Structure 1
Amino acid sequence: MAHFALFGVIRVGISKIFSNHSVRSLHSSVRLLAADKDLLVRLRKKTGFSFSNCKKALEKFNNSFKEAEAWLQEQAQKEGWAKASKLQSRKAKQGLIGVHHDGNSAVMVEVNCETDFVARNATFQELVKQTALAAMVHHKEKRENLSAYCKGFLGPSELSQLKCSISGKSLPDQLALTVGKLGENMTLRRAAWVLAPSDCYIGTYVHGALPDAAVTSHATVLFGKYGALVICQQSAENLRTNLQDIGRKLGQHVVGMVPLSVGSLEDEPSGESETRMLAQSFLLDPGITVGQYVQVNNITVLDFVRFECGEEIDSAEAT
């Protein structure tokens, strides 16, 4: 009987030990759970990935935030490229025109997706912004010592060689990530860049801008379905003219009236199908021609570029 009593005492003692250990473990687990939840929320907020994927990443790397974030990005890149390969045969006719203006430099890009719904998404707009900024950096070294304006076009192959100035990723990698997140085929279609000397001004205009709040977060890039760049030269007597306003109005005319060439001030209008810009009736004042409008303002129109999202393009703009 004494042996049984001793065994009972030992058993009770062991139970208390394990019980105390379980309580301590429970408290420890609660503290760890709280820490994990904080990391999980931070990782989700920074990366935009699902809670389940963020949880998996933290568990895989023993709550190392940096390693978990890097792994998520790597996995997203792989999944994005896989999804991009599957979707590349689907037509992408929607999208956005993006215009970025920086002093006497301007770029205009077109990035396509499948639906207008995705075009309104902030993630897609970020891709358009990155493309515009990358195109601007591409010709940055050509800005100095210009005696005349110059312009050029970049097609899909040239754009695919550029890198995002913010993330450091290549544009194709950034596109693949966006495809992975939004699930639509997307293409880097084209870009135009313009550089002008100090006596010139580049007017910019974007039409069909999206009203979504996301657009306002990209103050350096304007988005829409149509865009125009107009290169204007001011005369010595015209230094006080509001070139920004004039350039915007000329860009609006280019978008709305679709001229094919600048023409000359001597050109006479030839009817409703007139394609020479200076001979066309001015969109904002049909009682005068564009030529008369620029003469009054002592402005010379040197050139322009017009983009319409999804339009057919000639070989000069595709390469």
Structure 2
Amino acid sequence: MLLSFLFRTVLRDAAKGNICQHVKCFHSGSQLLSADKALLMKLRKSTGYTFINCKKALEKFDNDIVQAETWLHEQAQKEGWSKANKLEGRRAKEGLIGLFVGDKAAVMVEVNCETDFVARNEKFQQLVKDVTFATLAHHRNKTQRQEGYVKSFLAGDELSKLSTGEGTSLADQVALTIGRLGENMSVKRAVAVGVPADWHFGSYVHGGVGGQNEVAMGRYGALVVFQGGKEGEQDMLGRKLGQHIVGEAPLSLGNMDDLPCGESETRLLPQTFLSDPSRTVAQFLAGKQARVLDFVRFQCGEAAGEETK
């Protein structure tokens, strides 16, 4: 009898046109669900947070994606600070050196994490970029009225107070990344250099990751300042000098007329040149009509104060 009753109800609704109305309602519901799904996918793509958290945020703010994204960042940052406090003290000796060379300004930074696996994560690499450009902005703001050669080192506590382009502090960005990746991290150090118009930068990063982009990243980095060099060869000259500094780890510059003291030579200019073992660095530079004025070398994980400068 129940089946008979249902059948009669369907026939009656069909005669009144209600089935079309039901189908129409169902179809509209499907469109709404598709719209919700598209919004969810968009939020997931723009933030990188899990589907569950993105869905929760959209439900909380009645599908307002702007408020949902803001809330997600706030929650991730809170979680990151909580994790950062719990992970504090855990050894963070891995990470990356980030190096950016502009027209007359260059920056090199070190950001640490616990494992090489996380160092290769694009979210960690984004943090390295944030630190690099925050340092560059700080350098340009500080030296905009200064001329000549300027070099400054920043320790981790100074770097943490700097602001990113989005207005948040680097300390907050570190906490946010800790919350996302679950490892202890720290902003260790940075050097920023400005040069006069007729000086040049050379640079090299070894063990590069992250593909080709404006911030080179790896486990070792060298920044060298030089004058002269033949026109059209200065980029190659700077790269070769950077490779030598990374590979041979000189501790000081030395003088052009210094004599080598053997295999343990720690002065740059008397060292045997890596790209041409028949000559010293000084002899190579003389042949290129160039002169090295300064350099800095960073090795990821080395003790504070061990950078060569």
| TM-score, structure 1 normalization | 0.87
1:159 alignment partner AA:
L
Secondary structure of 1:106's partner? strand
**Cα separation, 1, equivalents of 2:270 and 2:144:** 32
> How big is each residue's C-alpha offset from its partner over 1:280-317, in whole Å with a ceiling of 9 and x where there is no partner?
10011111000001111111111100000001122899
8 Å contact kept, 1:204–1:247: yes
- Distance between the aligned counterparts of 2:277 and 2:126, measured in 1? 38
Query: Aligned letter for 2:253?
Result: V
Distance 2:240 2:161 in 1: 34
Distance 1:144 1:244 in 2: 28
Output aligned runs, 1:216-295, within 5 Å: 216=212, 219-234=213-228, 238=229, 240-295=231-286
Higher relative contact order (CA 8 A, sep 6+): 1
2:211 match: secondary structure = helix
| 1:281 aligned counterpart, secondary structure | coil
Residues 297 and 307 of structure 2 are in contact (CA less than 8 Å); yes or no, is this contact kept in structure 1?
A: no
Structure 1 position 67, deviation (Å):
1.2
Q: What is the CA deviation profile of residues 68-114 of structure 1, one whole-angstrom value per residue up to 9, with x for unaligned ones?
A: 11111111111111111111121000000000000121100000000
Q: Is the partner of 1:307 in helix, strand or coil? A: strand
TM-superposed deviation, 1:129: 0.7
Do residues 30 (structure 1) and 27 (structure 2) align?
no
Cα pair 2:199 2:227 within 8 Å, conserved? yes
- The aligned counterpart of 1:296 is 287
Work out the CA distance in 2 between the residues paired with 1:143 and 1:306: 25
In the alignment, structure 2 segments of 5+ residues that lack a partner are none
CA displacement at 1:242 relative to structure 2: 1.6
In 1, the alpha carbon distance for the partners of 2:274 and 2:201 equals 19
Alignment check: 8 A CA contact 1:100 1:108 kept = yes
Contact kept, 8 Å, 1:274 with 1:280, in 2: the verdict is yes
2:187 and 2:146 map into 1 onto residues whose CA distance is 31
Q: Is residue 54–residue 72 contact of structure 1 (8 Å, CA) maintained in 2?
A: yes
Q: Does 1:215 align with 2:214?
A: no
Displacement of 1:265: 1.1
* TM-score, length of structure 2 as denominator length: 0.89
**Does residue 60 in structure 1 map to residue 54 in structure 2?**
no
Q: Report the counterpart of residue 193 of structure 1 in structure 2.
A: 192
Runs of 4+ in structure 1 off by over 4 angstroms are 19-25
Aligned amino acid, residue 206 of structure 1 = V
| Superposition pairs of residues 23-102 of structure 1, within 5 angstroms | 26-102=26-102
Unaligned runs of 5+ in 1: 1-7
* Higher mean displacement: 279-288 or 138-147: 138-147
The DSSP-based 3-state class of the residue aligned with 1:227 is strand
Contact 1:228-1:254 at 8 Å conserved across structures? yes
Identity rate of aligned residues, in percent? Answer: 52
Aligned to 2:174: 175
Whole-angstrom distance in 1 between the partners of 2:272 and 2:123: 40
Q: Which amino acid is 2:211 matched to?
A: V
1:125–1:215 Cα contact (<8 Å) kept = no
